[in-house]
Amino acid sequence: MLGFSGVSIFLAYILCILSTVFCIIYGVVMWNKDK
């Protein structure tokens, strides 16, 4: 998976991206809400 041998590392890699995506979506949604 993505070239990793361990499921744990694959999960960490994906979670890093997903948590950043959450920060982006949260920021954009709240930005529009705060306007």
Helix (H) or strand (E) holding 10: helix 7-34
For residue 16, the minimal CB distance to another protein (Å) is 5
Tokens representing residue 10 in the block: 């694959």
**Ranges within 1-30 binding another protein (CB under 8 A):** 2-6, 8-9, 12-13, 15-17, 19-20, 22-24, 26-28, 30
Contact 10, 4 (CB under 8 A): yes
Q: How many CB atoms lie within 10 A of CB 17?
A: 9
Q: Which residues bind another protein (CB under 8 A)?
A: 2-6, 8-9, 12-13, 15-17, 19-20, 22-24, 26-28, 30-31, 34
